Structure formats: C-alpha cells, structure tokens
Amino acid sequence: MHFKDNNQPIGIIIEVHGPVVVIDCNRLPPLKQALCTRFDHTLYLFEVHQHLDEKLVRAITLHGTAGLRRGMIVFDTGSPLHVPVSDSCLGRLLNVFGEPLDGGPDLPQQNFRNIHAKPLPLSESIGISGILETGIKVIDLLCPFVKGGKTGLFGGAGVGKTVLVMEFIHAISSIHKGVSVFAGIGERIREAHELWQELQRAGVMDDTLMVFGQMDESPGVRFRVGLSALTYAEYLRDTLHKEVLFVIDNVFRFVQAGSEISSLLGRMPATVGYQPTLTTEVAELQDRILSSRQGAITSVQAVYVPADDMTDPAVSAILSHLDTTVVLSRDQASKGIYPAVDPLRSGSKLMDRTTLGERHYAVAEGVREHLAKYREMEDIIAMLGIEELSENDRKIILRARKLQRYLSQPFSVLADHTKQAGMSVPLSKTLDDCDAFLSGKYDDLSEEQCYMRGGMELPHG
C-alpha cells in the first residue's frame, strides 16, 4: 500500500476493541477514509466506519491488532483505500491492498484507483447484450450466461463449484480471448493454493488476476477484498477493452464479514441476526459490475446457501441482483453426471424467445419437459420397472436418460486427472444434437455412448 511520507497527524487512539479502534480526531475524517499508524516499522491501516460525535470516530483495522495501544498517533492518508493498477497485474496473486502474495515484485506504483469508486453513470453503461458461450453444453442450453450479466453458482461442498469456475476461466481465455479476475473472499488457504496451482497447470494463469482476503484475516479485509478485485476488473475493462470475467468465491462470506463489522460497531441486528445494512452492502458491490462501450464485465458468483434455505435473507438479497441461477446438485453428482448442474432448478431471467431465438427456446423447453417427466416417474420406474409404462412414456424416459448423460462433459482443466481430453461444444452443435435426441434420431444408441463426450458426431472421449 502506497502512502506519502508527509501524512498529517489527525488524532490519537483512545480505545481498542478487537479489530475496532476509537480515534479522538482534531478534525473529522470522512467515512471510508483510510487512516494509518506505525509501530515497530509495521504500518497499520484503518478505515473509518462511524462518526460518534464531532471528534470521535470508530474505525476498523485492516491488519492484525497486536501492538496497538491507547495513545498512538494516527495519521490521515488523504484518501480512501486505493490499489496500484498496471498492465502487469495479469498473472499475479495479490491481497486487498494490491500487494503481491506470489513472491513476485511489487506492482508499479504510478497509477492508483480508489476501491470505493462510484458505479459507471447510467449514460455510459450498456445493458446486457446476448449470450456468452462457455462451450459447456448444459449451461449454454438451459441456463445461458449473459454477456455483461451476473450468474450465481449455488451449491454445497464437494459438488464441483471450483472446477466449474476454473472451466469458465478457461473458456473466457480460449474462446473469447478475454481475461479473468478472481476474488477469493474468506477463502481457506488450502483452496486458494490449489486453485492457483490448477490454473497454472491449465495454462490460463497468464490471463487471470487473483485477489485474496483469507479466512483468518480481519473482517475489514474480507469485507473490502471484493471491492479491490472489482477495481482491477474495472481497470481491465477500461484499459484493455476486453471481455472480463469477474469471479467471486464466496459472496456469502462477504455478507458474513459485513455482519461481523456491524456487530462490532454496535448496530442492532435485523432479520435472522443479519446486519440492518445488508441490502445496501450487497448492492454497493453488485451495482458496480457493469459493462461500458469499452468492454464488458460478466460476473460469476459462488454462493453458499445456509442450511439449503434459498429464502435466507442474505441469499435473497444476492438473488435479486442475478440474471442466471446455476444450482449444483448432490443428486446429479452421485449419478456421476458432471458438471452436476440441476437442469430443472437452474435457469435464466432471459430464457425467452426474444433473447434466445425461436429454435434455442424450443429445444431448451423440449429438453426440460423430457427431464421433468423422467424425474416425475423415477419412483414409479424404481417400483414397477420401465416395462410397465406406456410405449410413449417409455420412449420419453429413454430419451431423457440419454439427454441427461449427453449433458455431462469432460473438462479441459481436469484433463491431467481424468486422462480424458476436455471438450468444448459450440451452442449450435448442442442445439443440433438435442434436437436429434428429441426427434428420435439417436434412439438406437446406448446410454454409455452418450456419456462424457463432446458433440455426437465427434469421436467418443
């Protein structure tokens, strides 16, 4: 973090409560202002969160608090938190202040951006514009990504959220020649390290920037690391004029950090113990994910669902901002169908004829109807066997089972582990294949011949 040596003294610390400090100021700094103090050559940064009266402010520490004590002099940095930006940020691993975590050199300290920048003016932002193909069959067909839109990835542990995120990063890099920014909010160090190594092995790290605020860090860091990463995404959008994929893992931990800060500041909790400022805080992050005429930011956000309750206030606040919902299901994973996307619970607000076109809409609806019929009759088949169904129902069920297996796919980022080359399938090919399944062209094929492959005319595996 870069600060001038001539910072002005602004006050002294009079109370320290965990990560919260109360500072007696000779002039009142604005909210979100970054303040600092030094102890044993260590720089401590604070962010102003509350004005208590005309002299006292409450601030959150953005580092560990060991060594802080009453009477320490606090200096004004002259601005809110800002991060160094440069073309050389791609391929790097950074923290909330833009400092390297990968052992590499510091970023050049010439240009800085405020992490609390305002969203683009409405006159300069452009709306969502068509579908962003990922080459992943089930997503392009049933819950397509929207260029410049926001997608939520809902699922528990171990159903493949991280692998799917890595495949999205790979697709943006290889299909669209774009770049990715990954925000790790409250990540475990093991997860962060594994993801970094996997992206290097998959050869996409050169087009990716990773910004981490780890689980053991101050709630102030976990609360702000999403904004730091978003600042880099905005910089890449405005300077490289490229397709930027902005990945957040996990948005729920951003809400949790806000809840911790709210309690520390003494605010009364609201619904189910969440902070009263929940919707504003989520909107502050989400409303900056915008596209301009220079470039687009498309966002993918992993969302943890507490107790699998989609009506949880935090999940509802996040859901209200999303265009596409991808629900990963343990049931699909247990059948060996990866990506484990639940085709009936996932969907997009833009699943209409106008956006998708007549053919895509008709094929997607046909596939959904077949899969819904199969799910409806699974219990009957388990008890009585498929032979007891009418001929028409049997035909639908067999086609649905083949479609279910066809929508599985080997991923490029897992090629080293599975020894199976990754397959990327254009949307037009997926539509042709699904149309052929629905019309009965592949009725003679076995289910194994449809499983874990790319397009149907392509060689198996």
The tally of CA atoms less than 13 A away on the side-chain side of residue 414 is 17
pLDDT at 281 over 90: yes
List the catalytic residue out of 188, 335, 349, 353: 188
The tally of CA atoms less than 13 A away on the side-chain side of residue 44 is 24
Report the b/e string of 88-120 with b at 16+ CB within 10 A: ebbbbbbbbbbeeeeeeeebeeeebbebbeeeb
Which distant-in-sequence residues (6+ apart) come within 8 Å of 50 by Cβ?
31, 57, 58, 265
pLDDT for 460 equals: 45
pLDDT above 70 as % of the chain: 98
Q: Which of 156-170, 427-441, 447-461 has the least mean pLDDT?
A: 447-461
From residue 235, alpha-carbon distances to 44, 112, 307, 363, 455 in Å are: 26, 10, 37, 39, 37
List the catalytic residue out of 187, 217, 260, 281: 187
Over residues 179-189, the mean pLDDT reads 91
- Per the annotation, the verdict on 441 as an active-site residue is no
Give the type of residue at 1: M
- Per the annotation, the verdict on 402 as an active-site residue is no
- Per the annotation, the verdict on 187 as an active-site residue is yes
pLDDT at 113 over 90: yes
The DSSP-derived string for 13-32 is: EEEEETTEEEEEESSPPPTT
Q: Tell me the per-residue pLDDT of 367-398, one tens digit each, with 9 for 90 and over.
A: 999 999 999 998 888 888 888 888 899 999 99
From residue 140, alpha-carbon distances to 37, 352, 413 in Å are: 51, 14, 18
Tokens of 237: 């959008």
Cβ atoms of 73 and 14 within 8 Å: the answer is: no
Q: Which of 59-63, 140-144, 187-191 has the least mean pLDDT?
A: 187-191
Beta bridge pairs of residue 213: 185
The answer to whether the predicted template modeling score (pTM) of the entire model surpasses 0.85 is yes
